[in-house]
Structure formats: C-alpha cells, structure tokens
C-alpha cells in the first residue's frame, strides 16, 4: 500500500537488525503505539534514516506517548549536530493523518490500566489494522474496525493475562471484527507455532519473522 511511502510502526529493541535483514531503505513517518520498552528502545536508530534522508521524520503518537518519548530520549531535543541524534518532529495524533496516499487512523485501546493506540491504515482501496498490545477494545474503536482486509491483533498466551488478550480472547475478537484475513501476534514461548496453527485452522494465521503481507 501507499506506493513511494514507507510507514513504520514502533521501534523495538531489535529495530536495527530488522531493517538490515529486510532491506528497509527509508522511513517517511513513524507511528508509536505506546512507550513500553519492547516498542521503543530501538528508536535511536531512526537517526540513520533522518541522516540519509536529510530531513526530520514525523513521529506520531498520543500525548502521553510523546511525553514519555521526550523523557526517555531527552537528548533528541538538545543541540547536537544533525547526524548525532534522530532528527524527528513529534506530533500528537488524535485524528487520522495522511502520509502520501495512506490514511492512518489512531485506534484507542486499553492495555491494562493504560490507554494506548493501535492503528488502521487505508490506502489504494485496501485496509489493515494493527493492535499489538491490548486487553480491551472499546465499542467506539470496534466501530473503526469495519470492512478490513487484514486485522493484526495481540494474543499473548493460552492463560489469562492482566494487560493482554490471551489466545482465546484474541480469536473471539478477530471473529467479531471479521476481516478478510486475521493474524494473531505477540505470542510468548508458551505456544508452539505449528501446533497452535493447526488448532486455529485457516481462519487465523500465526505469523513468522519475515512474513510479507500483500493486500
């Protein structure tokens, strides 16, 4: 989707390895779901893209997420040379944002006691939603998940968890959403890939590292 534009969602600790492994050439916009370590601690490596592109990269998130980004990466706001730190523009996102032909809509969800974001991406007549961490999807957000071509949703483990959907809850919500293709992510080592996939059948896909999804 969105030819000529490259959208990035979160910067996990292995961000550098991922972009090298999969040949990511540029980043036109970064969207942060929430400021937990496993979603942001590769952020410093954004500086390679801002240096190569010689531009500030827009970084979108909720007010609380951006507050924590400023706190955890306070050096970004200081007067270092251009290529010494990530050159970004932090932008609070409340409503949909257009990046080229893509429109990215924030999806408020609950992650334990915290309100965080997932995102819906619409481009070229196709739509995908990505909610990597949550244990509750409000009705107002469920309404934003209609008519999806693909839905990617948190399903941590078989047992209940205080801040994540377990696998049963994830599948129940995927069935309610009814996207053309459904994906269960954020799995722990409590589940074996092939065994879980055989239980879920063809209705829900258990992804793997390096999976490329074409819509």
Kindly report, residue by residue over 37-88, the tens digit of the pLDDT: 999 999 999 999 999 999 999 999 999 999 999 999 999 988 787 888 999 9
Within a domain: 104: yes
Q: With respect to residue 212, please indicate whether it lies within any of the assigned structural domains.
A: no
Closest CA to 150 of 194, 68, 211: 211
pLDDT of residue 81: 79
Q: pTM of this prediction? A: 0.95
Q: Give the residue, 174 or 79, on which the prediction is more confident.
A: 174
pLDDT category of residue 1 using cuts at 50, 70 and 90:
very low
For the ranges 71-85, 106-120, 198-212, the lowest mean pLDDT is seen at 71-85
- Structure token digits, residue 114: 């915290």
Q: Which of 20, 74, 82 is nearest to 57 (CA)?
A: 82
Phi-psi region of 184 (alpha: psi -120 to 50; beta: other; left: phi over 0): beta
With respect to residue 175, please indicate whether it lies within any of the assigned structural domains: no
**Residue 23's CATH number:** 3.60.15.10
- Is residue 113 domain-resident? yes
By C-alpha distance, which of 80, 7, 79, 13 is closest to 49? 7
Query: What is the predicted pLDDT for the residue at 78?
Result: 84
List the one residue out of 21, 99, 94, 19 whose CA is nearest residue 57.
99
Render pLDDT for 123-172 as a digit per residue (tens, 0 to 9). Answer: 999 999 999 999 999 999 999 999 999 999 999 999 999 999 999 999 99
Alpha-carbon distance of 35 to 10, in angstroms, equals 9
Q: What is the mean pLDDT of the chain?
A: 95
Phi-psi region of 53 (alpha: psi -120 to 50; beta: other; left: phi over 0): alpha
Please list, residue by residue across 45-61, b when 16 or more beta carbons sit within 10 angstroms of its beta carbon and e when fewer do: bbbebbbeeeeebbbbb
Compute CA distances 206 → 126, 154, 200, whole Å: 21, 11, 9
Classify residue 76: in a domain, yes or no. Answer: yes
R_g (Cα) of the chain, nearest Å: 17
Pair 128, 148: CB distance under 8 Å: yes
Contact indicator for 138, 110 with CB cutoff of 8 Å:
yes
Q: Look at the chain and report how many structural domains it folds into.
A: 1
The predicted pLDDT at position 43 comes to: 98
Look at residue 110 and tell me if it is in a domain: yes
H or E segment and range at residue 193: helix 193-200
> To which residue do tokens 């739509």 refer?
127
Report yes or no on 183 lying in a domain: no
Q: Is the Cβ–Cβ distance between 16 and 42 less than 8 Å? A: yes
Share of the chain above pLDDT 70, in %: 99
**Is 88 domain-assigned?**
yes
pLDDT value of residue 2: 43
Percent of the chain with pLDDT over 90: 93
Containing domain of residue 138, as a range?
A: 7-146
């Amino acid at each position: 989707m969105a030819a000529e534009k490259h959208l990035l969602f979160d910067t996990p600790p292995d961000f550098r390895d991922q972009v090298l492994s999969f040949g990511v050439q540029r980043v036109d916009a970064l969207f942060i779901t929430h400021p937990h370590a496993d979603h942001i601690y590769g952020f410093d490596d954004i500086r390679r893209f801002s240096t190569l592109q010689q531009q500030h990269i827009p970084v979108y998130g909720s007010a609380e997420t951006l507050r924590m980004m400023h706190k955890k990466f306070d050096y970004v706001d200081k007067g270092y040379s251009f290529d010494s730190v990530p050159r970004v523009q932090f932008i609070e996102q409340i409503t949909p944002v257009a990046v080229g032909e893509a429109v990215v809509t924030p999806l408020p969800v609950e992650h334990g006691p915290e309100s965080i974001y997932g995102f819906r991406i619409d481009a070229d007549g196709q739509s995908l939603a990505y909610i990597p961490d949550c244990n509750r999807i409000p009705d107002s957000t469920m309404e934003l998940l209609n008519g999806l071509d693909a839905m990617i949703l948190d399903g941590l483990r078989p047992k209940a968890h205080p801040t994540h959907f377990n696998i049963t809850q994830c599948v129940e919500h995927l069935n309610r959403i009814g996207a053309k293709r459904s994906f269960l992510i954020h799995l722990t080592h409590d589940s074996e890939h092939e065994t879980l996939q055989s239980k879920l059948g063809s209705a829900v896909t258990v992804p793997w590292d390096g999976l490329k999804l074409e819509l």
